[in-house]
Amino acid sequence: MRRYGRCLTVSILVALMFCIAGCDLFTPPKKTVESFMAAVEKGDFTTAGQFVVPNENLKSTIDKTNDPESEKIFKAVFTKVSHTIVSTSTSGETAQVTTSITSPDLLRITTSVMSQMMPLAVASAFSENSNQDDINQLMEQYLMNAIITDPNAPMTTSEVVINLTKQDGKWLIVADDNLTNALTGNINKLSALGKESK
């Protein structure tokens, strides 16, 4: 009887080890997305970058957050982001985590600020005392006011499939335009509109 008990114990331990290795019990893809989103929502882009497959676009974005003025705007935007995990699927070394992301609608906010700034920019263009730095600073202030102080700032919700890949036993997010667009409230569509108008 004791022999069967030992065999059963060993069998359970082996099965548990396979489950841990194969089922990602301790570091599932969902946990990677949760950790990434938590860092983004705190405005901690260095930590968020640890959960993403390294690429030049990400490095460039993180470098921009080191500039004090840009950091202020980035934090104002991303600390208003929220998310909900909808579903998770895993297939071998890849996974997909469908996530609903709510963020400030930067497309609407930016176009609104630009329309408010247009008369000032035109007047400045014809002024002898024209200073582009002053206009940029004013636009920055308008954006900050529209994002931070306006309690009715427009928000947008996008459902996005976040792709992950397993590298060195760790799940990492493969950042793409859909994720960037969801996090930045459709701001990529603004540059697309600019290209279409040319």
* Cα(172)–Cα(154) distance, integer angstroms: 31
Starting at the edge strand that comes first in sequence, how are the strands of the sheet with 155-167 ordered?
82-91, 94-104, 155-167, 170-174
Residue 37 in domain: yes
Give the residue, 23 or 120, on which the prediction is more confident: 120
**CATH number for the domain including 187?**
3.10.450.50
Task: Tell me if 8 is assigned to some domain.
Answer: no
Q: pTM of the prediction?
A: 0.73
Residue 119's pLDDT band, with cuts at 50, 70 and 90, is confident
What type of residue is 100? S
**Average pLDDT, whole number, for the chain?**
77
pLDDT at 65 over 70: no
Report d(CA 133, CA 83) in Å as an integer: 36
Q: Is residue 1 part of a domain?
A: no
Number of domains making up the chain: 1
Which structural domain range is residue 64 located in?
27-105+154-196
